[in-house]
């Protein structure tokens, strides 16, 4: 299902099934909406789960000549949330970039959500100073990402042999590959999200004014993180929660930035618990 965003973008919305109130799951940079399938499988007894693909990811096309701007990704999240909105607002769940885009959507339209659960959202503090000449390993690694394989199985074998995806639950790794690659006319499978786009997003992590405007978001927000590391989303997660009027930070020291895919069942249980704290 396609829903309209900005710049003529048609956002791909995935119905992950379930019964009950609507829930929207928002993915990280370089990922796609179907990556949430393993988490959603533990939630569908209670929620109707949806996810979506940000522009340039999964099955949402990248606008021609579009210059990377986080406002565009936020507009994609807002369009998806509007498409599944219901009276009283929905629950939003976001990982990394997907957490930041849900915050942007909530700022644009406060009626969309009744609560957000965010795993290590990309909202660096406005006053954070990166060390001079510090390498951007995430951007460099993304730019070098292998984009083509002989088959889906070959891609799964490759990603499963090295960090960080070697720590993914098998079903999470399969969801990443099968939703993130498409078969080409040459018989090979190719990444839907280009390494160049993923790298460019990592080179531009600061979202103008989002840190400043966190105080305007008055719905309950849980901010989850793995073991804190300096200059990483885990390192500033607590500060994000502290800045939100109804923010709450929870740290899971045995997890890393990819917690939702390392332990989908546990993340689903936390989402369940979060939902219990919200007004009906």
HEC assignment per residue over 61-128: CCCCCCCCCHHHHHHHHHHHHHHCCCCCCEEEEEECHHHHHHHHHHHHCCCCEEEEEEECCCCCCCCC
Tens-level pLDDT at each residue, the chain (280 residues): 888 777 789 999 999 999 999 999 999 999 999 999 999 999 999 999 999 999 999 999 999 888 888 999 999 999 999 999 999 999 999 999 999 999 999 999 999 999 999 999 999 998 776 666 666 677 777 778 899 999 999 999 999 998 889 999 999 999 999 999 999 999 999 999 999 899 988 888 778 789 999 999 999 999 999 999 888 899 999 999 999 999 999 999 999 999 999 999 999 999 999 999 997 7
Could you give the CA distance from residue 108 to residue 80 in angstroms, rounded to a whole number? 13
Residues 101, 73 contacting (CB under 8 angstroms) = yes
Could you give the CA distance from residue 123 to residue 268 in angstroms, rounded to a whole number? 23
Structure tokens at 4: 């309209």
All structural domains of the chain with their residue ranges: 2-139+206-276
* Candidate CATH numbers 3.20.20.20, 1.25.40.10, 3.90.226.10, 3.40.50.1820; the one for domain 2-139+206-276: 3.40.50.1820
The rounded radius of gyration (Å) of the Cα atoms in the chain is 17
Could you give the CA distance from residue 204 to residue 111 in angstroms, rounded to a whole number? 29
pLDDT recorded at residue 132: 64
- Taking phi over 0 as left and psi of -120 to 50 as alpha, with beta for the rest, 96 belongs to left
- Nearest one of 75, 72, 71, 52 to 63, comparing CA atoms: 72
For the entire predicted model, the pTM comes to: 0.95
Query: Count of H helices and E strands in the chain?
Result: 11, 11
Residues in a beta bridge with 131: none
């Amino acid at each position: 299902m396609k829903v309209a965003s900005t710049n003529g973008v048609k956002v791909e919305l995935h119905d992950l099934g379930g019964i009950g109130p609507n829930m929207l799951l928002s993915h990280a940079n370089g990922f796609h909406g179907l990556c949430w399938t393993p988490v959603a499988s533990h939630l569908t007894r209670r929620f109707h789960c949806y996810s979506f693909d940000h522009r340039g990811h999964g099955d949402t096309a990248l606008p021609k000549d579009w210059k990377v701007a986080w406002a565009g990704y936020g507009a994609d999240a807002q369009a998806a949330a509007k498409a599944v909105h219901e009276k009283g607002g929905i629950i939003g769940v976001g990982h990394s970039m997907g957490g930041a885009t849900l915050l942007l959507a909530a700022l644009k339209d406060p009626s969309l959500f009744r609560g957000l659960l965010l795993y290590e959202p990309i909202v660096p503090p406005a006053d954070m100073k990166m060390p001079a000449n510090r390498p951007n390993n995430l951007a460099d690694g993304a730019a070098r990402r292998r984009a083509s394989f002989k088959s889906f199985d070959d891609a799964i074998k490759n990603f499963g042999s090295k960090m960080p995806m070697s720590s993914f639950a098998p079903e999470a790794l399969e969801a990443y590959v099968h939703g993130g690659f498409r078969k080409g006319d040459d018989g090979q499978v190719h990444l839907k999200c280009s390494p160049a786009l993923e790298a460019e997003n990592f080179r531009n992590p600061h979202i103008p004014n989002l840190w400043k405007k966190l105080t305007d978001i008055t719905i309950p927000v849980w901010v989850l993180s793995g073991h804190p590391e300096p200059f990483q989303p885990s390192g500033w997660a607590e500060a994000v929660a502290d800045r939100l009027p109804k923010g709450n930070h929870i740290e899971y020291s045995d997890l890393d930035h990819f917690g939702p895919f390392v332990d989908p069942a546990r993340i689903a249980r936390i989402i369940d618990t979060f939902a219990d704290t919200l007004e009906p």
